[in-house]
Amino acid sequence: MSAQTTKKHILVVEDEDQLRDLYVRVLNDEGYEVDQAKDGQEAYDKMSQNTYNLVLLDVIMAKLDGMQVLESLQKAEKLKQSPVVLLSSLGQDLVIAKALEYGVRGYMVKSDYTPQELVKEVKGYVEDGEVRSALQA
Partner 1 sequence: MDNTVVTKKSILQSLWRIQKIILESLDFNTVVENVVNGLLEELGYMDLGYRIIVLTLVNERKKVLERISLSSTEEAKQAMAASAIPFHDIDIPLSAQKNLLIKTFKNNKSYSTHYWPELFHPVLTDEQAIKNQKAAGIKTSMTFPLTVREKTIGVMIFSLVKDLKDVSKEERELIEGFTDIVALAVENAKLYSSLASTTERLKDANHRLKELDVLKDEFVSIASHELRTPMTAIKSYLWMAMNQPDQKLTEQTKKYLGISYQSTERLIHLVNDMLTVSRIERDKIELKVEKFDLYETAKLVYDELKITADEKKVAFTLGSEDKPPFMVKGDKEKLREVIQNIVGNSLKFTPPNGKIMINFRHDKSHIKIDVSDTGAGIPKESLSKLFQKFSKIDYSYSKHSSQPGSGLGLYISKQIVSLHHGDITVQSEVDVGTTFTVSLPAASQKGGAE
Measured from the CB atom, is 60 or 64 closer to partner 1?
Answer: 60
Residue 102: CB minimum distance to partner 1, A:
20
Distance between CA 53 and CA 40 in Å, rounded?
19
* Of positions 4, 5, 18, 49, contacts partner 1 by CB under 8 A: 18
Task: Kindly write out the interface string for residues 72-111 of this chain, putting x where it contacts partner 1 by CB under 8 A and - elsewhere.
Answer: ----------------xxxx-xx--------------xxx
Amino acid at site 54: L
* Of positions 5, 49, 114, 136, contacts partner 1 by CB under 8 A: 114
What is the DSSP track for 28-88? HHTT-EEEEESSHHHHHHHHHH---SEEEE-SS-SSS-HHHHHHHHHHTT-GGGS-EEEEE
The torsion region of residue 31 among left (phi > 0), alpha (psi -120 to 50) and beta comes to left
Cα–chain center distance at 40: 12
Answer whether 58's CB lies under 8 Å from 87's CB: yes
Measured from the CB atom, is 73 or 118 closer to partner 1?
Answer: 118
* Of positions 6, 28, 50, 116, contacts partner 1 by CB under 8 A: 116
Task: Kindly write out the interface string for residues 31-60 of this chain, putting x where it contacts partner 1 by CB under 8 A and - elsewhere.
Answer: -----------------------------x
Q: Which residues bind partner 1 (CB under 8 A)?
A: 16, 18-19, 22, 60, 88-91, 93-94, 109-112, 114-116
